[in-house]
Homo-oligomer: A and B are copies of this chain.
Amino acid sequence: MYIPTYSDVEAAHARIMPYIHRTPVLTSSFLNALTGAELYFKCENFQKAGAFKARGASNAVFGLTDTEAARGVATHSSGNHGLCLSYAAGRRGIPCTVVMPRTAPQAKKDAVKGYGGRVVECEPSTSSREAVFAKVVAETGAEFVHPYNDHRVIAGQGTCSRELNEQVPGLEAVVAPIGGGGMISGTCLTLSTVAPGVKIYAAEPKQADDAARSFRAGHIIADDAPETVADGLKVPLKELTWQFVQKHVTDILTAEEDEIIEAMKLIWKRMKIVMEPSSAVPLATILKNPEIFRGKRVGVIITGGNVDLDKLPWM
């Protein structure tokens, strides 16, 4: 297992720069007054394809040799990674296949196709997904890009906190959502080198708190299909992301479903930005643990903005 280093993040940044946005950092005097902290929101909802995952996906796609690239890339994901891999492949002009359960929302399938990707449907079970995915790879020879347990992906995600650290001097803490741990691992990778004094908090839905329990137990605990409104955060840690979580994360904080929805609405209302439920988990945990953050300069990663406007969680 290759564990990426900060020089991989630097190489990734140089490689993906033409294909990603250096996203803005927004502040809200209302939310600062409410929390007693100075919050700096890194807005990856404005990222290409609407999510930070465009970074890792672009790094994987543009790091391939021409021969590898010609065979295309493939993944299984009904979320932002599938979309972002399709975006990156489209920019390089190579094929991309995304295996998705046939029960996934049509809008998600259309979004992948909108960037030029091919959707192959499987049954909504792990065994079907694995069988269908193996067939796709056997037929195409495509390069598998895992949503997070991949050193190229983690190095790409690490470019986000690299920008944040340049944009906000003197950061004291960063809070990012944790699902599979790709964003948190990239954050750990970068900050442990460029700003080792910054405390890194992972934020997780209480209803899908496998990472928090893993963190306390000292080994990976994976839940079977947890349910949460923060649907980007249902997946478990894997061996590569676990390395970073175990070594560099200060703590994993959790929030209840209603607290996540409340925080999401607060951000939409006061900051006027559209972002996903998963991206609201950090603010929910900050509001719940004010003593940790009061008086501090805190980076908050808004991970994505791909939300179904017809099915908002407060509707």
Q: Give the interface of A toward B (CB within 8 A).
A: 24, 26, 45-46, 50, 265, 268-269, 272-275, 305, 309-310, 312, 314-315
Query: Is the beta-carbon distance between B50 and A265 smaller than 8 angstroms?
Result: no
Residues of B within 8 A of A275 (CB): 272
Nearest B-chain residue to A275, judged by Cβ: B272
Closest residue of B by beta carbon distance from A29:
B48
Q: How far is the CB of A125 from chain B (nearest CB, A)?
A: 31
Q: Could you jot down 9 A-B contacts, CB within 8 Å? A: A268-B274, A268-B309, A269-B309, A272-B273, A272-B274, A272-B275, A274-B274, A312-B312, A315-B315
* Minimum CB distance partner of A272 in chain B: B305
Instruction: Give the nearest-CB partner of A26 in chain B.
Output: B46
A50 to B270: give the CA distance in the assembly, Å: 8
Point out the residues of chain B lying under 8 angstroms from A26, CB to CB. 46
Q: Could you say which residues of chain B place their CB within 8 Å of the CB of A314?
A: 309-310
Given contacts A46-B272, A312-B312, A315-B315, 17 further A-B contacts (CB under 8 A): A24-B24, A26-B46, A45-B272, A50-B272, A265-B309, A268-B274, A269-B274, A269-B309, A272-B273, A272-B274, A272-B305, A273-B273, A273-B274, A274-B274, A309-B312, A309-B314, A310-B314
Chain B CB count within 10 A is highest, among A265, A269, A310, for A269
Smallest CB-CB separation from A48: which chain B residue?
B29
Residues in B whose Cβ lies below 8 Å from that of A273: 272-274
- A137 smallest CB distance to B (angstroms): 31
Contacts of A265 in B (CB 8 A): 309
In the assembly, what is the distance between CA of A269 and CA of B274, in Å? 8
Interchain nearest-CB distance for A315 vs B (Å): 6
Cα A310 to Cα B268 in complex, Å, equals 12
Minimum CB–CB distance from A43 to chain B (whole Å) comes to 8
Which residues of B are found within 8 Å of A50, using beta-carbon distances?
A: 272
* Separation of A314 and B309 alpha carbons in the complex (Å): 9
Q: Which 3 A-B pairs have the closest CB atoms?
A: A272-B305, A272-B274, A45-B272
Contacts of A24 in B (CB 8 A): 24
Closest to A302 in B: B272
